Structure 1
Amino acid sequence: MNVIEIEGLKKQLGNFTLDIPNLVIKEGYITGFIGQNGAGKTTTLRLIMGLLIPDKGEIKVFGQSSSQKGEAIRNQIGYVGEPTGYFSEATVEQTRKMIAPFYTSWDNDLFNKYINLFALDRSKKIKELSQGQGKQFALIMALAHRPKLILLDEPTANLDPVVRHQILDLLMEHMQHEEVSTFYSTHITSDLDKASDYIIMLQKGKVVMYEDKEQIDDKYYIVKGSKGLLEKGIQNELIGIDQNKFGFQALTTKKQMLENKFGKDLIFEKATLEDMMVYIERGNRS
């Protein structure tokens, strides 16, 4: 079953155009949404939540139109992004009291469990929380009403590695005990190397990759070799070639074929999501 379905979507914002002909997000998984800043990730999330209206096309969440049933859909979504929208002068506890009544499924026991896990001070004002504590609190608020869909927009940006891992660990632990789907937008691809089931890459408003994470791990490699090999027709099997005086390196999905043809003349390394994003971007510019 699909939790999100996008068809014929177009949205113009100034000189930027988001253009997604067809996209589905599967229920019960963490789907990573990657791309450079300005690629259209936040715009897509706002359209999914019904905060923006498409110029063309339709987005369905839980089988309902996000533009027509936005309020009902948002009640089933946990969202973490910037800004959080919480009143900066209110304390952690006051914020809970203000927000909880809006959700019929709010779970105080779950809220308390996660507050204690992160050792957050309930008497602190929102403005007094550190950046990391603020993101931890936003995630707790997003999870405490037991949403069916979690939308994360750069939830670990500018955080230190310890806090980033704490947030990811909580997210994955929560998903193990809840029937929930997560759509995780970020340019910090290392987070998704650890957590994702599927990867979608957005580039200049268009989807350029949508693949199973396990298949990605077996498919994409960084290949390195001497410049002389580029004169032997290898270029057609490479993505985003980077040359220097010592040779070249590039992304490839043809490891076995290249290995059979050139043997030890080439060196292969498994590509990370960051490698893929960099080399696909470079390849599409050339």
Structure 2
Amino acid sequence: MTNDSLLTVSHLTKRYPQFTLQDVSFTIAPGTIMGMIGVNGAGKSTTLKSIARLVQPDAGTMQIAAPANLAVMLGETVYYPEKKLTTITRTTRQFYSQWDEEQYRYYLHFFDLDDQKKVKELSTGMLIKYQLAVTMSHHAPLLILDEPTSGIDPVSRDAIRQVFRHYVADGQHSILFSTHITTDLEAIADSITYIHAGAVLYSAAKPDFIDHFRRQFGLSVNAPLTFDDIMLTIERKTIDDSAIPA
């Protein structure tokens, strides 16, 4: 890793009986947000879990800024429903030497969260925002997030986008997030990594990413092309009526 990156993933490989994550490589520069896209089962979550040290890769290297202070939100946290948020936070913050209570309180206020509420009283969106408030309150240089805006309303999604942009604005922090919501990529991503069938199909800054696929698809330089267009062109399957049993 150099001063030009907060994360460098090189030739990451993880083999399962029916799936292989193969030779995944990409780099994230400070002060940037990288969006990771691909269909379900392509290898996005395996990549993120490998970076978070929750999966042991079979090969490859990962160089991470401040690995002891990595922020991870993978959408799999299960809280005891009767616990208040303040109780959960009191326990959680003990694991972070750089915990910032003032910053945590700011995010609670920004997201309109009441930490006296119990987990069972929270909607899906509120729980996601609480997890983000905790995740972003210990000054981790790198945030690893698995579909952080999934299942929430457009207003909450916009608030989260604002927070992400603010988090990286100092040029010292970066975010890597996976998503199926391509409008998030259009709104806040600086670079895109496309995972296809366990491998990196392409990884580049957002304008270069779009231009690459314009050329791949034989489109003119100024032809409109969305991330949905790219994914559908690459991944779409067409029903063959003749193959359906009568």
TM-score (norm 1): 0.76
8 A contact 1:3–1:26 mirrored in 2: yes
Q: Which runs of 5+ in 2 are unaligned?
A: 238-246
- Matching residue within 6, 11, 34 for 1:8: 11
- Matching residue within 51, 56, 63 for 1:48: 51
Please tell me whether residue 255 in structure 1 is matched to residue 209 in structure 2: no
Q: Distance in 1 between matches of 2:212 and 2:23?
A: 24
Q: Percent identity?
A: 32
Q: Deviations over 1:88-113 (max 9, x none)?
A: 33211111111112111111111111
Q: Matches of residues 114-193 of structure 1 in structure 2 within 5 Å?
A: 114-177=107-170, 179-193=172-186
Please tell me whether residue 18 in structure 1 is matched to residue 31 in structure 2: no
Aligned-residue CA RMSD (Å) = 2.1
Q: Distance in 1 between matches of 2:9 and 2:213?
A: 27
Matched letter for residue 50 of structure 1: R
Shift of 1:269: 4.2
2:38 is matched with: 35
Number of matched pairs: 234
2:197 is matched with: 204
2:227 is matched with: 273
Q: Deviations over 1:12-41 (max 9, x none)?
A: 123011002532222321011111111110
1:88 is matched with: 81
Q: Distance in 1 between matches of 2:23 and 2:31?
A: 22
Matched letter for residue 10 of structure 1: T
Please tell me whether residue 58 in structure 1 is matched to residue 12 in structure 2: no
Q: Distance in 1 between matches of 2:92 and 2:148?
A: 20
Shift in alpha-carbon separation, 1:177–1:125, aligned structure 2, 3 A: farther
Find the residue that maps to 1:23 and give its secondary structure.
strand
Q: Distance in 1 between matches of 2:133 and 2:154?
A: 19
Matched letter for residue 8 of structure 2: E
Find the residue that maps to 1:47 and give its secondary structure.
helix
8 A contact 1:33–1:183 mirrored in 2: yes
Shift in alpha-carbon separation, 1:54–1:147, aligned structure 2, 3 A: same
1:111 is matched with: 104
Find the residue that maps to 1:215 and give its secondary structure.
helix
Matched letter for residue 24 of structure 1: T
Greater Rg, structure 1 or structure 2? 1
Shift in alpha-carbon separation, 1:87–1:77, aligned structure 2, 3 A: farther
Find the residue that maps to 1:137 and give its secondary structure.
helix
Q: Which runs of 5+ in 1 are unaligned?
A: 63-71, 222-236, 240-250, 257-267
8 A contact 1:220–1:270 mirrored in 2: no
8 A contact 1:200–1:210 mirrored in 2: yes
Compare the two structures and name the one with the higher strand fraction: 1
Shift in alpha-carbon separation, 1:107–1:29, aligned structure 2, 3 A: same
Shift of 1:217: 4.7
RCO comparison, higher one (Cα < 8 Å, 6+)? 2
